[in-house]
Amino acid sequence: MSKLVITDLHVTVDTEDGPKEILKGVTLTIKEGETHAIMGPNGSGKSTLAYSIAGHPKYTITGGSVTLDGQDVLSLSVDERARAGLFLAMQYPVEVPGVSVSNFLRTAKTAIDGEAPKLRTWVKDVNGALERLNLDPSFGTRSVNEGFSGGEKKRHEIAQLELLDPKVAVLDETDSGLDIDALKIVAEGVNRFREREGKGVLLITHYTRILRYIEPDYVHVFVDGKVAESGGKELADQLEAEGYDRYLSAAR
């Protein structure tokens, strides 16, 4: 059973003019088997939510709580959160020169499971995951994210999602910068993950496009650091037609 509960989360980021509040009381519950889409205009704090859940040091939690299956996530280090079952697919995956993808994947899998994966099945699993995401097997010898195209970076994130098998995946604008073919491949990967038992997905996106391929159970409109409105997938259709203007003028 997996359940991510975010309660009245307040987050600040340090700026030259002192701390600035980005998240202003976010409350959200993602139960197992559910996919929640968070949609919102630029600068609404969507990515801050993703990075705060993952524990990026740039963000300071000033109030509220995040729990995963009852465990206090905010008291854990970044790696402990990952080992507890959280996964963040990043909008801008980071280059790690000289570290091969295969070494990286094996090191991560070993860390998550607490033991090294069995070599024979692991090689098969990795090759399978790469193949399903239309990544050449030689991908494993390349340095992590170095020289990857935008699409390769995102597909590599989803390959990690498949292999590391978290409880809850937070996908931060995984659809941005993808052409339609790459978007489909990525969406299929996410859908394979959703079919697994008891997984939760928090899908952060600026566009409705990806929701044609990954059907959410709930849609939340995120404006000015909090959830402005929640609904079913029909809310996405409404946003597609009307845009965010209504919420933005209300926020002003």
CB of 97 to another protein, least distance (A): 5
Q: Which is nearer to another protein, 120 or 252 (CB)?
A: 120
CA dihedral sign, ordered 216, 205, 65, 1: positive
Identify residues 65-124 at the interface with another protein (CB under 8 A): 77-79, 81-83, 87-88, 90, 93-100, 102-104, 106-108, 110-112, 116
Q: Which is nearer to another protein, 70 or 97 (CB)?
A: 97
What type of residue sits at position 221? V
DSSP H or E segment with residue 37: strand 35-39
Identify residues 126-145 at the interface with another protein (CB under 8 A): 140-141, 143
The region of 7-15, 29-37, 53-61, 65-73 touching another protein under the rule CB under 8 A is 53-61
CB of 146 to another protein, least distance (A): 9
SS3 159: helix
SS3 59: strand
133, 160 Cβ separation under 8 angstroms: no
Taking the C-alpha atoms of residue 1 and residue 200, their distance in angstroms, rounded to an integer, is: 10
Taking the C-alpha atoms of residue 7 and residue 145, their distance in angstroms, rounded to an integer, is: 34
CB of 9 to another protein, least distance (A): 18
Q: Which is nearer to another protein, 103 or 238 (CB)?
A: 103
**Binding test (CB under 8 A) with another protein, winner from 3, 24, 56, 192:** 56
Long-range contacts of 72-81 (CB under 8 A, 24+ apart): 78/54, 79/111, 81/53, 81/54, 81/55
CB of 99 to another protein, least distance (A): 4
Q: Which is nearer to another protein, 84 or 251 (CB)?
A: 84
Identify residues 178-237 at the interface with another protein (CB under 8 A): none
Taking the C-alpha atoms of residue 131 and residue 49, their distance in angstroms, rounded to an integer, is: 31
List residues near another protein by CB under 8 A: 54-57, 77-79, 81-83, 87-88, 90, 93-100, 102-104, 106-108, 110-112, 116, 140-141, 143, 160, 164
